[in-house]
Amino acid sequence: MKQRFPISRVIHRLAGKAIYKYQMISHGDRILVGLSGGKDSLTLMHMLSEAKRRAPIDFDLFPVYVDSGFPDGFGKALEEYAQINFGRIHVEYTDYGLQGHSPLNRENPCFLCSRLRRKRIFELADQFQCTKIALGHHQDDIIETLFLNMLYAGRMGTMHPAQKLFKGKFTIIRPFVFIEEALIQDYHDQYNLPQFLNPCPSINLTKRNEVKSLLKTIYALNPHVKSNLFKSMHNINQEYLL
């Protein structure tokens, strides 16, 4: 799809809209940026680094990657890339992925690994005195999470753009909430960003991938479905819910 403006300008405009609407960043903030090695988090880190250079306020960025401990991991390669492009990074080497895939935890390896990594992210945010945690979740992730919760958890809810946790001690911010995954992919390709391959053996076996495939089929039937689904989360008629 052709863009009227350069992709970087569109990314910054939409991310800026989210940051302003949900008051994600303030002067003096120390923001831990969760890197995964994928296109979303790397694009987010590049966008925030550029925003930091241009913004009239001052804030600090602390990129962090939690390595799950699988063979052929990319922690060292990501560390080298981040040092060159962002000036610093903290890589935390763990065995969380191996714990998740141990014989004692075969039924749901992703749950344990994810929980351990998330817990460590909060510990590192506390260690680095960061009150904000920036994640690369985009519009597609928000919609997919809504369906995941309805289909597999029996509740309606999704990820909030600016979510306060632990009685307000930390706030998770998602500046890409208004940005479609396809646009991030275009940015990633145009600027030739690396994408480090996740060595997790369960990477393509998740419920999220099932929902993504289902939604892709639905989107193909009508080009307005995705935007309508996203709008519906801002337009809830509680009188017609149980």
Cross-strand pairs, 64: 34, 90
> Side chain identity at 63, as an amino acid letter?
P
Residue 188 CA to residue 78 CA, distance in Å, equals 16
For 102-124, how does the pLDDT look when each residue is reduced to its tens digit (9 = 90+)? 887 767 778 888 999 999 999 99
pLDDT above 80 for 224: yes
> What kind and span of H or E run contains 52?
helix 39-54
Can you read off the two tokens belonging to residue 14? Answer: 């939409």
Model pLDDT, residue 171? 98
Q: So what's the pLDDT on residue 5?
A: 60
Provide mean pLDDT across the span 155-175.
97
On the question of pLDDT at 1 being above 70, the answer is no
| DSSP state, residue 204 | T
Predicted confidence at residue 204, as pLDDT, reads 80
Listed in sequence order, the residues at least 6 apart from 97 whose beta carbon sits closer than 8 Å to its beta carbon are 68, 69, 70, 109, 113, 200
Distance separating alpha carbons of residues 159 and 162, to the nearest angstrom: 9
In this structure, the number of other CB atoms found within 10 A of the CB of residue 211 comes to 19
Kindly report the pTM of this predicted structure: 0.93
- Residues 202-215, mean pLDDT to the nearest whole number: 90
Sorted by where each starts, the structural domains of the chain and their CATH numbers stand as 7-240 (3.40.50.620)
Residues 6 or more apart whose CB falls under 8 angstroms from that of 163 comprise: 171, 172
Least confident of 45-54, 138-147, 202-211: 202-211
Mean pLDDT, residues 221-228: 96
Cβ(31)–Cβ(48) below 8 Å: yes
Q: Yes or no: say if 85 and 56 are a contact pair by the CB < 8 Å rule.
A: no
Could you tell me if 38 and 198 are in contact, meaning their C-beta atoms sit under 8 angstroms apart? yes
Q: Which of 21-30, 93-102, 175-184, 209-218 has the lowest mean pLDDT?
A: 93-102
Task: Tell me which H or E stretch contains 173.
Answer: strand 170-173
What percentage of the chain exceeds 70 in pLDDT?
Answer: 97
User: Are the beta carbons of 184 and 145 closer than 8 angstroms?
Assistant: no
**CA-closest candidate to residue 113, choices 235, 190, 205:** 205
pLDDT digit string, tens, across residues 3-61: 456 899 999 999 999 999 999 999 999 999 999 999 999 999 999 999 999 999 999 99
Structure tokens at 239: 């009188």
Q: Which range has the worst mean pLDDT, 133-137, 192-196, 228-232?
A: 192-196
Question: Could you tell me which of 141, 140, 160, 134 has the C-alpha nearest to residue 62?
Answer: 134
Q: Which of 149, 136, 114 is nearest to 187 (CA)?
A: 136
Q: What is the mean pLDDT of residues 195-222?
A: 91
- What percent of the chain lies above the pLDDT cut of 90? 83
Tell me what pLDDT residue 4 has.
55
- Mean pLDDT over 150-177 rounds to 96
Q: Please provide the average confidence, as pLDDT, over all residues in the chain.
A: 93
